[in-house]
Amino acid sequence: MMLILFSVLVLVVIAAISAAVLYAASQKFKVFEDSRINNVEMLLPGVNCGGCGFSGCKIFAEKTVQTENLNELYCTAGGQKTMSAVAEILQKEVVEIIPDIAVVRCNGTPQNRPRTNIFDGGKSCAVATLTYGGETACTYGCLGYGDCVPVCKFDAISMNNETNLPEIDREKCTACGVCVKTCPKKIIEIRKTCAEHTSTSLSNHSRSKKENAVFVCCVNEDKGAVAAKACKMACIGCEKCKKVCEFDAISIHHFLAYIDDKKCTNCGKCVKICPTKSIVY
């Protein structure tokens, strides 16, 4: 009997000592979280899209609290309204940022890019791109299987059954970049809108700030004649757009024109002069 009581006593003492050690350790390594982090996180959309450059809304909220001002931080999903609310809570300055927009750099509709073969494999862009170049003579353009559609958390992408190309709802798009990473052909790009420089000729008085983005709707790097044979609206690298641009915003690489959205002022001259109409907005 005494042996049992002694054993119980020893266990009680060990438990008490362990509890004391654990309590001391918890107090020593206790992490105090700023309550403002939770307040900011509650204002965020909570989709953890990664468009802000961080892996989740929680980390983004921590960064907003830790930084002196919010000028280098932007929640793409929440937009300016959310950032203004965050700034008000934290009593910090925030600059107005014109939102970027995702664009599809391919105009290879059935009319512009005729089908030359039929793919009988899995209807997935990721799968198809590993096995062949596509059902047309252009090996650079959209494959049309819509891998980008289900990955969009904002329901901003849909496939057009007539063009067989993805369409982006510019009002819903948050430029999070998930579709860009998903597309194996790299035809989806995040671009700045240059809305502060938008010309009257391009705006048509009805376009919103997010709609004004001039870009080359083609990624074909073949020589002009080859590209033109594959698609009627392919960029042929003629350099007419480069010569007419007064802002040095257009460059030609691998027979393909590219417009620098940081330099582009949306004057519209390149759009008008492009012989294949591959420059759009």
The DSSP secondary structure of 58-117, one letter per residue, reads: HHHHHHHHHSS-STT---TTTHHHHHHHHHHHHT---------EEEE-----TTTS-B--
The whole-model pTM stands at 0.77
* pLDDT tens figures, 47-61: 888 888 898 999 999
Q: Where are the domains of the chain?
A: 36-90, 101-280
Give the separation between CA 210 and CA 195, rounded to whole angstroms. 7
The class (CATH top level) of 101-280 is alpha beta
**Residue with more model confidence, 203 or 134:** 134
**Residue with more model confidence, 206 or 119:** 119
Give the separation between CA 63 and CA 85, rounded to whole angstroms. 15
Confidence of residue 35 (pLDDT cuts 50, 70, 90): confident
Residue 117 has pLDDT above 70, yes or no: yes
Give the separation between CA 201 and CA 195, rounded to whole angstroms. 13
* pLDDT tens figures, 72-92: 899 988 888 999 999 999 999
Backbone angles phi, psi at 51, to 5 degrees: -65, -25
* pLDDT tens figures, 129-178: 988 888 899 999 999 999 999 999 999 999 999 999 999 998 899 999 99
